[in-house]
Structure 1
Amino acid sequence: MSPLAASAVLAHRRGFSAPAFTDAGRWLAGRPVEEAARLIPRVFNLCAAAHGAASAQALHLPATDAEASIRQETLRDHALALFHQAPEALDLPGERDALGLLANPDGGAELARRVSGDVDLAGLSLSDFDLWLARGETLPARLLRQVRQHIDPAWGRVGLPPLTLSDLDAAVADAPRDLPARDATVLTRVRQAPLLVALLAAEGGSLLARLLARVLDLLAVLKGGPASCGRTAAGHGFAAAARGLLAHGARVEAGRIAFYRIVPPSAWTLAPGGLLERMLAALPSRAETPMLGRLALLAVNPCVPVKLEGLGG
């Protein structure tokens, strides 16, 4: 999301503060449909393709082939976390050169190898996963191994119902003051992977499970992934953005915007009593707590700057 898309007003929660989300309807009201469709990806430029696709669906504009661009946004986001941001948080050397593979049309196979080696990570059993962690030399394997060895599964563990299209419809239509607690992260779209099913059964929504979800989502996107946009039962547009399910709702009168609302996945994650607040509340008071807070942020991946507070350890 660009700076224009977030209010300067900070929303304070227990453990963190973040900019309040903008009211898109306020600055789109009265604009012609085509102008609104052009503006939205420019303003919400962090996931421009996903916002553009959800907007086109909400405005009932001709479908455009946004699949490849949405996948590229998602790959970029996960790769930056796994090869630069997470290693930095854990004092491991990053591999910035891996990010260069994103610009190579034929770099997908090499990027997958740099992530999981030669194994089908999503299909592993827990025992085989432990072997992969012990023997794996890829940077994501070393990252997850460090988390497995040094972070208690209870630290930051939260289990919430996954976000559904019905939840999106209710949020777009009713704009509740406080969104119900839902998991809107990419964990919801890879939670049926056999390895993640087993890990969630063993330790719940731990930091390890959530970071693994980002690894598995990257690998799934490299394989093509599922359809990434469409319309809900109520006719609202949605897209599977890099951070989770994104919704756009619109009403058009005489070719102009009469109503517009955007509900990004981070609105659920950063809501009062939502996922991030609960994760931070579940962290211990230890010397490494600031690092755990950074890992929690990387796991949920908000689309606005978040300042952690009161995690001195």
Structure 2
Amino acid sequence: MSDPGGSLEIQLTPSSDGLVCTIVSTRPVAAASAFVGRSPEETTARLPLLFSICARAQAGACAAAFEQASGRVASPIIRGRREAAIAAETIREHLWRILLDWPTLLGEPPCRDDMASALALSNRILSRLDPAGDLFGVGARTAAGHTPGQAPGLDVLLADLHDLLTHKVLGVPPEHWLSLIGDPSGFERWCRNTETVAARLLRSLLESGEASLGKTTIPALPRLSEKDLIARLSAPDWAEFVAAPTWQGQPRETSPFTRVHPLPLIEVYGAGLLVRLAAQLTEVATGLRLLSRGPVGNAGAQPTSAGGNGIGLGRVFAARGLLAHVVRVEDGRVREYRILAPTEWNFHPRGVVVRALESLPPGPEEQLRRQAELLITAIDPCVAFKLTC
């Protein structure tokens, strides 16, 4: 049976001018059209089942889009809880890569026990934030299960998550890790003296001279206005745009790297592989900090205007980049539903992954495959990929 989320086939072919990279995607980028004819309530209930990867980010963008379309506004407590739930989900998504995929890049078995602990903690945190399962309902307000302030019992779970990140992932407290991003000398000491999988992978890049692999000139996706994004996703060629999006004629990148953009590390190591991996670790630490601050943060759905004209935009910073939903509702039914996901930006046929892979130096096939897998994992598709060299 084919993967309902689709997949990516990535081909690297040597040529006289270097490597040529092609990406063929089977991702169902128009799958949200299945919601046409349904009510907003039916759509919000079904959407996380159809889009199970980053389901809460998807639900957050969906709720925000319907709320803008209807002119309804979720309460501040609900918005804060949504942001916290998306932050918890983002931590979990990054830990899947760090604990399961990063060890294999070192030739080691995945850290399955640590990931099982992280997953159990994530599930318990999410159940505290959304005890009634209604957090992402359209226009949700303070209701049963949503009390002001910190969710009951959340502080104990966050302390456990802090300990897991300290001992199993970062090797130092998350708040100390965040100080290292602005201190290249301290960051290098951390790489060389810490024995977690994450530190040893980054250390291996320093020792092999591969820290700057994959540098590209693809610009970051800028902050797009509501008007421009709604217009682009409502245009007659919206399906072509969603499948291979560009902005102002250029492919763009939206990722942990473009959000964190640790300039001191970039100045020393270049905007390549090492700093991309460090950005994922940084998002784990900043996600915990957001959760610890209480119910109001700023990492969830981006604010939108009041709306109420039947057209709505919801935007969320999901684990892999900016996620956007646009909906048009008439007579209580969905007439249009479009989703623009970060994978389509980052794995564009002329985008950051293609350019990063084409910049790899010539070498034996085994070396090329290993370096390509490192870069693909660092930029991180949300679906399975097949690499052919």
- Indicate if the aligned counterparts of 1:19 and 1:304 stay in contact, CA closer than 8 A: no
Match of 1:133 in 2: 191
Deviations 1:178-213 (Å, cap 9, x if unpaired)?
Answer: 42211111112212xxxx211222343201111111
Deviations 1:149-198 (Å, cap 9, x if unpaired)?
Answer: 2143443222432223407853534436442211111112212xxxx211
Say which SS state the counterpart of residue 21 (structure 1) adopts: coil
Q: Is 1:33 aligned with 2:47?
A: no
Distance 1:9 1:92 in 2: 25
Distance 2:10 2:165 in 1: 38
- Tell me which moved more, 277-286 or 64-73: 64-73
Match of 2:149 in 1: none
Distance 2:217 2:279 in 1: 14
Match of 2:285 in 1: 219
By how many angstroms is 1:11 displaced? Answer: 9.3
Match of 1:247 among 324, 347, 359: 324
Distance 1:154 1:126 in 2: 14
Distance 2:288 2:32 in 1: 35
Larger radius of gyration: 2
Match of 2:300 in 1: 228
Distance 2:208 2:95 in 1: 23
Say which SS state the counterpart of residue 14 (structure 1) adopts: strand
Match of 1:278 among 330, 347, 355: 355
Q: Is 1:17 aligned with 2:24?
A: yes
- Indicate if the aligned counterparts of 1:74 and 1:242 stay in contact, CA closer than 8 A: yes
Distance 1:242 1:189 in 2: 11
- Indicate if the aligned counterparts of 1:17 and 1:308 stay in contact, CA closer than 8 A: no
Distance 1:145 1:244, change over 3 A: same
Q: Is 1:207 aligned with 2:273?
A: yes
Match of 2:57 among 40, 45, 50: 50
Match of 1:189 in 2: 259
Deviations 1:21-78 (Å, cap 9, x if unpaired)?
Answer: 3313431212112111111111001111000010000111653432333223212221
Distance 1:54 1:212, change over 3 A: same
Distance 2:47 2:191 in 1: 42
Say which SS state the counterpart of residue 290 (structure 2) adopts: coil
Match of 2:136 in 1: none
Distance 1:54 1:128 in 2: 38
Percent sequence identity is: 31
Distance 1:198 1:16, change over 3 A: same
Instruction: Give, as a single letter, the amino acid of the residue that structure 2 aligns with 1:164.
Output: P
Aligned pairs for 1:119-158 (under 5 A) are: 120-124=176-180, 125-158=183-216
Distance 1:10 1:199, change over 3 A: closer
- Tell me which moved more, 119-128 or 58-67: 58-67
- Indicate if the aligned counterparts of 1:157 and 1:205 stay in contact, CA closer than 8 A: yes
Match of 2:172 in 1: 118
Distance 2:102 2:278 in 1: 12
Instruction: Give, as a single letter, the amino acid of the residue that structure 2 aligns with 1:118.
Output: V
Match of 2:369 in 1: 290
- Indicate if the aligned counterparts of 1:18 and 1:304 stay in contact, CA closer than 8 A: no
Match of 1:304 in 2: 383
- Indicate if the aligned counterparts of 2:273 and 2:375 stay in contact, CA closer than 8 A: yes
Q: Is 1:96 aligned with 2:103?
A: no
Q: Is 1:68 aligned with 2:140?
A: no
Deviations 1:102-161 (Å, cap 9, x if unpaired)?
Answer: 223242111221222235222221111111111112221111101222143443222432
Say which SS state the counterpart of residue 336 (structure 2) adopts: strand
Instruction: Give, as a single letter, the amino acid of the residue that structure 2 aligns with 1:206.
Output: G
Say which SS state the counterpart of residue 258 (structure 1) adopts: strand
- Indicate if the aligned counterparts of 1:83 and 1:94 stay in contact, CA closer than 8 A: yes
Q: Report the number of matched residues.
A: 304
Distance 2:47 2:340 in 1: 13
By how many angstroms is 1:278 displaced? Answer: 1.0
Distance 1:255 1:217 in 2: 38
Give the RMSD, CA atoms, in angstroms: 2.6
By how many angstroms is 1:93 displaced? Answer: 4.5
Distance 1:153 1:9, change over 3 A: closer
Distance 1:22 1:303, change over 3 A: same
Distance 1:279 1:167, change over 3 A: farther
- Indicate if the aligned counterparts of 2:33 and 2:338 stay in contact, CA closer than 8 A: no
Match of 2:14 in 1: none
Match of 1:107 among 129, 148, 160: 160
